[in-house]
Amino acid sequence: MTKIKINQLERSVKKLCYVADAESEVLATES
């Protein structure tokens, strides 16, 4: 049960990091 929750958390964190990277790249190309 806890392993599943940890996996979901890790996936969410990776998704957030990916989105943040993409957004910073867009900001860098715009400026």
Residue with tokens 């867009």: 26
| Cα–Cα distance for residue pair 10/4, rounded to 1 Å | 10
Average pLDDT, stretch 1-27? 94
- pLDDT tops 80 at residue 26: yes
> What is the share, in percent, of the chain residues with pLDDT greater than 90?
74
Report the predicted TM-score, pTM, of the whole model to 2 decimal places.
Answer: 0.62
Dihedral angle sign, alpha carbons of residues 12, 13, 16, 22: negative
What tokens appear for 22 in the block? 């993409």
